[in-house]
Amino acid sequence: MKSAVIVFPGSNCDRDAKTVLAATGLNPVMVWHQDSSLPKVDLVIVPGGFSYGDYLRSGAMAAHSPIMREVKAHAARGAYVLGICNGFQILTEAGMLPGILLRNAKLKFICKEVLLRVENTTTAFTRRYKAGQVINVPIAHHDGNYFADSDTLKKLDDNAQVAFRYCDADGAPTAAANPNGSQNNIAGIFNEQKNVLGMMPHPERHAESLLGGTDGKALFEGLLAA
Amino acid sequence: MKAKIHITLKSGVLDPQGKAIEGALHNMGFRGVKEVRQGKYIELDLAESDATKAKEAAQKMCEGLLANTVVERFKVEVE
């Protein structure tokens, strides 16, 4: 299985992603955002960072980079796309996932470990987790406050498109466990077909015990088995 | 032609930055401020000399990039 990590000006989690992909056997190649063709891969990672300095809106400019046409075509073929943090913002701005990530409700940049409840374990991304499992994964963002209109939120629930919710140690998605004001404690969502995942937390930062946790590793292992 | 574009959050969308500005204004003694909503202003210098076409083009730019219509509305004026 092969993967590609898209590199935008301002990406800063691209090499973390590459390291995890290589360690998992997902054979990553790095692809510059101005490239207009994507090598033949099974998985595309749109990594975290601050593409274009978050000018205008986080992810707005990167969503129109030449490579994104290829990433859309890749997803339309049913192949896998994972957007992490700024990557999630880029996927919403590109129209590949519904909703938008607004400024955190308390206006602060938040960098800490959070707990997530795994909501749907029938996808390639989440198959290695148990239903309702609580995992520890770090967040590091200023704009992670997920917003969508009520019809969209209902659709996300009806189609089991919510991947992860911020929760407490018992797995309850409480207001106190919601770090950024996201509607319904949403931390990550799938597209309808479940081959595109966007999430604010960073699974690639918790894939080695040396870095403080390994709960993110199963996500990449699930993709390897896909 | 010049296009002047105002982008504002739709009503009902939480505006924490507006809220923070509101708090600061209250701290300064401007007690009469009931609500603050923050937006963006963008000016475009366009080669187009036809006002209708210029406005249409600017609207397309708003829909495609300048505004995110999930949460924002925009108003285009050309002159």
Express each pLDDT in A13-22 by its tens digit: 999 999 999 9
Residue A106 has pLDDT above 80, yes or no: yes
A125-149 pLDDT tens trace: 999 999 999 999 999 999 999 999 9
Q: Is residue A143 within 8 angstroms of chain B, CB to CB?
A: no
Reference A9, options A47, A41, A57; nearest CA is A47
Phi, psi of A101 (to 5 degrees): -100, 110
Q: How far does A105 lie from chain B, in Å, by closest CA?
A: 6
Q: Is residue B11 within 8 angstroms of chain A, CB to CB?
A: no
Confidence at residue A225, expressed as pLDDT on a 0 to 100 scale: 81
For A93, the closest chain B residue by CA position comes to B68
Helix (H, G, I), strand (E, B) or coil at A123: coil
C-alpha pair distances (Å), A23 with each of A166, A189, A216: 27, 25, 13
**Cα of A178 vs its chain's centroid, Å:** 17
Smallest Cβ distance to A147: which of B20, B66, B71? B71
Q: How far does B50 lie from chain A, in Å, by closest CA?
A: 27
A156-189 pLDDT tens trace: 999 999 999 999 999 999 999 999 999 999 999 9
> Judging by beta carbons within 10 Å of its beta carbon (0-12, 13-18, 19+), is residue B27 exposed, middle or buried?
exposed
A58 close to A144: Cβ distance less than 8 angstroms: no
How do the pLDDT tens digits run along chain B, 79 residues long?
Answer: 999 999 999 998 989 899 999 999 999 999 999 999 999 999 999 999 999 999 999 999 999 999 999 999 999 999 9
Number of alpha carbons in the 13 Å side-chain half-sphere of residue A64? 11
Interface contact flag, B65 A60, Cβ < 8 Å: yes
Please state the pTM of the whole predicted model.
0.95
Structure tokens of B72?
A: 């924002």
Number of domains forming the structure of chain B: 1
Q: How far does B66 lie from chain A, in Å, by closest CA?
A: 7
Q: Is residue A69 within 8 angstroms of chain B, CB to CB?
A: no
The C-alpha atoms of residue A91 and residue A22 are separated, in whole angstroms, by 23
Smallest Cβ distance to B17: which of A60, A103, A181? A103
CATH number for the domain that contains residue B54:
3.30.1280.10
For domain A3-224, which architecture applies?
Answer: 3-Layer(aba) Sandwich (3.40)
Please report the ipTM that was assigned to this predicted complex: 0.86
Range of the domain at B73: 2-78
Residue A30 has pLDDT above 90, yes or no: yes
Residue A55 has pLDDT above 80, yes or no: yes
